[in-house]
A and B are shown apart, each in its own frame.
Chain A
Amino acid sequence: MEMSGSGGTVLELRSLEKMFTEKKTGRELEVLDGIDLEIGQGRFTCVVGPSGCGKTTLLRAIGGLVEPTSGEIFLDGHPVTGPGPERGMVFQEYALFPWRTVLKNVTFGLTLKGISAIDARASAREYLETVGLTDYENLYPRELSGGMKQRVAIARTLAVEPRILLMDEPFASLDAQARNGMQEFLVELWRETPVTIVFVTHSVDEAVFLGQEIIGLSGRPARIVEKFTNELPYPRNRTDAAFTDLRARILDYLTKEMADSYV
């Protein structure tokens, strides 16, 4: 655990590869082509790339939901096999249990850890307060807006105290206004809690608003072709010259990759 201190490496990927076999044709499809990556404690990393390049597969491999064909994933120096609560996932589709109230969605992972029902509720209420949903604990997911649902999902994931938070286009289903609101909310949350975030998005604007590092993937099969560092202070202003400049640079790379992947 010597690497778990502040500034140390939390997540390490070594020559990660993933092949899928197409069911109909039996053809091998290469999705990840040797991904090497180190992510430091407490960092906010965004992953961008052309549509269908394998961003989500990369995140799901880290989450343990997809088994890599070769290569290794280490969390705090330990190899990752299968999913686990130390790697929390937030899905675009929210994935809230519709039959559980907001509170019981958040206690789900806590009780699996063997925490008593009373302690789980108390802890869940703290996380609901963090995401600003204290008054909604008895509602069911269908009664919530998209942004609120995603806040519940974030609270549910944070409640089990993951070492790393993996977010798969979590705001893609929201309208533009809710989306901006959630981005601001996430930045604030991250600055208050010392969690490491890997955030996959197809929105360059979102990546520049959120990330300290922005990893640019190639078209499929995905390789890391660009690493942008984003030192802009939080909270960021989308109309800053530096903001729009970085956005333009990332868009340039993306346009080139997309053109290449359609050759």
Chain B
Amino acid sequence: MKKWKVISPLVFIVLWQVLASAGALGKGVPSPVQVVQGLYQLTVTGFPPGYKLLGDILSSLARVLLGFGIAVVLAVPIGILMGWSSWFDVVLDPIVEALRPIPPLAWLPFALVWFGLGYLSAAFVIFLGVFFPVVLNTVAGARSVDPYLEEAARTLGADRRTILLKVIVPGSLPSIFTGVRIGIGVGWMTLVAAELIGVKNGYGLGYMIMNAGEVARFDYVVGGMVVIGLIGFLMDRAIKYAEKRLLKWR
């Protein structure tokens, strides 16, 4: 069974190489070999020349982590309060539900007005993408905590604050992790859009992909896509690892 984990991507790459070489994927669509060459050029020379891949990666990581970090720091307490207290839920739920369907991209003009051109406005757009999945999952987590646990805590002498911190928060953690994993994925998805406006110094994976696309350097475009996919995968693995360590009681 395990060998298929290796075989299926290999088959995919070989098939891609054959089809691309035969020209079956359309004009200018790069083959895996061309993508690797493109990645090499991006690493050594950079695109535009001088703006190397490592700089793009670090800049994008900084934006994603900033937006993601702020989103999690705000979404978890808000979600816990909404899931635990019906007052907070009644007050905040309509606002959350009304803002949630708005695509983060729609906020671009305001991001510029509020944060100007730079890291913060890109981070803000990513923040919007991450915030809602984390809030919703945290709310679900806080609501899923067995009411008997709260009652047991009360009969053992716990006040409301203790129940919140020692029962509701740990009981919500599994759902919070689910939200965080969804959130980091959405964060990377909003990156390209965020870097459309939020970049002025010429670094960024999304920014590079946009520019390369305009001059039809599809090998760079796909190279950028591969790098985003890889980083997203690694971050998901890191969160999964943290989850396993933190939630070994499950």
Q: Is A84 within 8 A of B155, CB to CB?
A: yes
Task: Please count how many residues in chain B sit with their CB below 8 Å of the partner chain's CB atoms.
Answer: 21
Chain A positions within 8 Å of B37 at CB level: none
A109 cross-chain contacts in B, Cβ below 8 A: 156-157
Comparing B3-11, B107-115, B130-138, B165-173, the segment that makes contact with chain A is: B165-173
Most interface-central of B146, B155, B248 (chain A CB within 10 A):
B155
Taking CB atoms, residues of chain A closer than 8 Å to B154 are 64-65, 82-83
Bound form: Cα–Cα A100–B169 in Å: 13
Give every chain A residue within 8 A of B146 (Cβ-Cβ): 93, 95
CA A29 to CA B247, docked complex, whole Å: 42
Instruction: Name the A residues within 8 Å of B155 (CB-CB).
Output: 63-65, 83-85, 87-89, 157
Mask: chain A, 86-115; 1 = CB below 8 Å from B; 0 = not: 011101010111111100000011001100
Assess whether B171 is in contact with A112, with CB atoms less than 8 Å apart.
no
How many chain A residues sit at the interface, stated as a range, is 20 to 34
A98 and B249 contacting across the interface, CB-CB below 8 Å: yes
Bound-complex Cα distance A103 to B75 (A):
32
- Alpha-carbon distance between A65 and B150 when the two chains are bound, in angstroms: 10
Query: How would residues 166 to 190 of chain B score, 1 for a CB under 8 Å from any chain A CB and 0 otherwise?
Result: 1100110100000000000000000
Selected from B152, B171, B173, B250, the residue in CB contact (under 8 A) with A89 is: B152
Contact residues in A for B173 (Cβ distance below 8 Å)? 99
Q: Which residues of B contact A99 (CB under 8 A)?
A: 170-171, 173, 247, 249
Q: Which of A54-68 contact B (CB under 8 A)?
A: 63-65
Contact A142 B156 (CB under 8 A): no
Q: Besides the contacts A64-B154, A82-B154, A98-B250, what 8 more A-B pairs have beta carbons closer than 8 Å?
A: A65-B151, A89-B151, A91-B148, A91-B152, A95-B152, A97-B167, A112-B157, A142-B249
Which of A's residues lie within 8 Å of B, judged by CB?
63-65, 82-85, 87-89, 91, 93, 95-101, 108-109, 112-113, 140-142, 153, 156-157, 160
